[in-house]
Structure formats: C-alpha cells, structure tokens
Chain A
Amino acid sequence: MRLAPRFASLSACVLVSLTALVSVTGDAAESEGLKAGVFNPARAAPDFSVRGSDGSALTLSRYRGKVVLLGFGYTHCPNVCPVTLAVLAQAHRKLGALASQVQVIYLTVDPERDDAERLKQYLAAFDPTFVGGTGTTAQMAAVRGSYGVTAQRVGSGSNYGIAHSSFVYLITRDGKLRALMPFGHEADDYVHDISVLLN
C-alpha cells in the first residue's frame, strides 16, 4: 500500500517528462522557421530509378547524406523552369563550400522531347553539377504520382506546352521529404532553408 503513492508520483513524473518531450519536439519542428512549406511528420521521400543526364541510372537514394532539391520541369518550358533553375543555381553559388553537400535533381515532365543528352546540355547552362532525369512516359508519370506533381499537356502539334507543378521539394540527408518551396522564392530563401536542413 505504501508503494502506491510512490508509484503514482513516479508515473506522474514520467507522464510530465513525456509530455514535455513531445511538446519540445513539436515546437522544434515548428521553430525551424523554414521559408518553405513544411510537412509534419516528414515521410520518406519516394525513391525512383530513371535515366540520368550523366549517363548512369539516377536514383534518389544515390544522394543519401546530401540535402536534395528535387524539381520537375521540362527543357521547352518558356518561363517557370528557367527561373526556378536560375534561382537554384544562384543559391548553389551562394552556399559556397556547403554546396558540395547539396544536390539538385530535375526530373522531366516531358520525356518525349527531353532525352538524357538534351537535359544535360540544358542543365549545364545553369550549373554543371545539376543532374536531370528522364525515362519512359509511364516511368515519369509514376514518379510524379508518388510526389503529387501534376503535369497537363497544353496545345497540340510539336510546339505543345506542359502546365506543371512548379515546386521544389527539399529532401533531408536521411531521405525524408521535409519541405516544399513554392515558385517565386528567392535564392536567399533556399540558402536559408538548406542551411537549416544541413545543420
């Protein structure tokens, strides 16, 4: 009978500690202060295996240990993709020595026109370290589906366009899909968030 009050206080202490731990963890997630939209909890970023612009098989898991910026677009894109890639290239330069811990991957939403060689040339104009990915129409659609990316063909003939999601996904070193940066953010916002994720 004497043990009961002690047990009760011990339980209360454990409960209070656990509650504090949970609230601190929750607060930490929110207080990261990322400029991007943040997923909570972060889920494992879906892996993929497509043809890389560097000639080898491109998988997300290849870059485990780095922060990955994953974007979707196409080389004929008249406005959104060039802006996004230019911002990413600027952020990459601003990161300085930290840039080696970051990998930009750009997957095409237009595999019919974007082969590996075309992607390589296109991305090199922004930053030679950027890696592109392409594959069959079904392959690329499956990757888009796993990330919730939309891509809708607009127009007909050979000069068609593609209306597509313009976000860049921020994936942590351990392969978690942590955040999503909407189109329109500046390079400094990427530098800020990458620095947070690297630390």
Chain B
Amino acid sequence: MNIVRPFRQHPRIAVALTVAALAAVALSTVAWAAFTPVTFASREETFEIPKGTWARRMAGNKVEILPSQVYLTLGIRDVLLLKNMDDVPQIFGPTLMMPGQSFRLPFEVASSYQFACTAHASGQMTVVVDEQPDTPWRRLVWRTRRILRAAV
C-alpha cells in the first residue's frame, strides 16, 4: 500500500512509468526482430497433394492445396517442393506430376515469378522470392511483411 499510494497521489508518474514500460517492451520487440537471425528447419516450402484428392474433387468437394501466392526467402527458405501422393497424375503448380513424384524447384534470384497453373481460378500462380534478411533492417522488414501477409 505504501508503494501504490504515491502513484495515486501523482498520476503523472504512473502514466510516465506505464509509457516507459510500453516503450521498453516495444523497443525490445523491435530489437529482437532486427537482431535475431531468421531461421527455418528446412529450406524447402513443401506442398503435398494427399492420397484421395482426385476422388474428393470428383465427388464435388473443393480441395485447395496450393495457394495462388507462395512466399519464399533467399538463403533460408528458397526451394519449392511439390509432392503428388495421389493415385493419379495431377497438374500441380507449374507442371504435370505423376503419382508418387515430387518436383523440387530452387530459386536463386529475388523476384516475383509467374507460372501458368490450371489449378487456380486465375490460371496463374505467383512465387514471390524475397531478399535474404541478412541485416537488422532487412530482418525487421521481413518480419513485418510476414505478419502483414498473414493478416491479409
């Protein structure tokens, strides 16, 4: 009570301390986002057509596996890996894949890549490859962009 009472008597101090605490948290978050290296367990972003997908589609079910936009990052997650585990050939992303076949596509240049893809209503699939976040500023931008993309 002895500690709380002075803040009640001086609300400006309480506000200032709250602001300072929030600023410290924000600063720590920004510092973490800028200085902690971005890592992934694997460089491969994997999408898989599960067994029975064709049968489910034939039954009238809408099955979306591959998003129309895929985001990759150079140096840490820059390989698109597609797997067809179904029993029939499938047009998957940019190519025709046989049952049990996989397709591994590495990217070495940051850019936006357009692929014709009949699996999407637009008829196109886009792979956006971002620069490697190898500086504090790039890491900060990369993490912010990732949050914004997830929110859309």
Binding site for B on A (CB under 8 A): 30, 35-41, 43, 146-148, 150, 152, 163-167, 180, 182, 184
Do A148 and B95 contact each other (CB < 8 Å), given the known contacts A35-B108, A184-B113?
yes
A139 to chain B minimum Cβ distance, whole angstroms, is 18
A77 to chain B minimum Cβ distance, whole angstroms, is 14
Do A163 and B116 contact each other (CB < 8 Å), given the known contacts A35-B108, A147-B96, A148-B95?
yes
User: What residue of chain B has the Cβ atom nearest to residue A165's Cβ?
Assistant: B116
**Does B103 interact with chain A (Cβ within 8 Å)?**
yes
Do A167 and B95 contact each other (CB < 8 Å), given the known contacts A150-B118, A182-B113?
yes
B94 x A165 contact (CB < 8 A): yes
A76 to B81, CA, bound (A): 34
**CB within 8 A of B103: which of A30, A39, A147, A165?**
A39
A126 to chain B minimum Cβ distance, whole angstroms, is 23
20 A/B residue pairs, CB under 8 Å, sorted by A: A35-B106, A35-B108, A37-B95, A37-B106, A39-B101, A39-B103, A40-B101, A40-B102, A148-B95, A150-B123, A163-B116, A164-B116, A165-B94, A165-B116, A167-B94, A180-B95, A182-B115, A184-B109, A184-B111, A184-B113
**CB within 8 A of A38: which of B104, B108, B116, B123?**
B104
User: What residue of chain A has the Cβ atom nearest to residue B95's Cβ?
Assistant: A148
Which residues of B are found within 8 Å of A36, using beta-carbon distances? Answer: 105
Taking each of A37, A39, A147, A164, which has the highest tally of chain B beta carbons within 10 Å of its own beta carbon?
A37
Which residues of B are found within 8 Å of A40, using beta-carbon distances? Answer: 101-104
A41 to B108, CA, bound (A): 23
B129 to chain A minimum Cβ distance, whole angstroms, is 11
Do A30 and B98 contact each other (CB < 8 Å), given the known contacts A163-B116, A182-B113?
no
B105 x A37 contact (CB < 8 A): yes
Which positions 99-140 of chain B face chain A at CB distance < 8 Å?
A: 100-106, 108-109, 111, 113, 115-116, 118, 123
A164 to B118, CA, bound (A): 12
A40 to B104, CA, bound (A): 8
Binding site for A on B (CB under 8 A): 80, 91, 94-98, 100-106, 108-109, 111, 113, 115-116, 118, 123
A41 x B101 contact (CB < 8 A): yes
A146 to B91, CA, bound (A): 11
A152 to B102, CA, bound (A): 26
Which residues of A are found within 8 Å of B96, using beta-carbon distances? Answer: 146-148
A142 to B73, CA, bound (A): 37
Which residues of A are found within 8 Å of B123, using beta-carbon distances? Answer: 150, 152
A131 to B114, CA, bound (A): 27
A30 to B109, CA, bound (A): 20
A184 to B113, CA, bound (A): 9
Which residues of A are found within 8 Å of B113, using beta-carbon distances? Answer: 182, 184
7 closest Cβ pairs, A-B complex: A148-B96, A37-B105, A150-B116, A40-B102, A38-B104, A165-B116, A148-B95
Which residues of A are found within 8 Å of B100, using beta-carbon distances? Answer: 41
B90 to chain A minimum Cβ distance, whole angstroms, is 9
Do A148 and B91 contact each other (CB < 8 Å), given the known contacts A35-B108, A164-B116, A184-B113?
yes
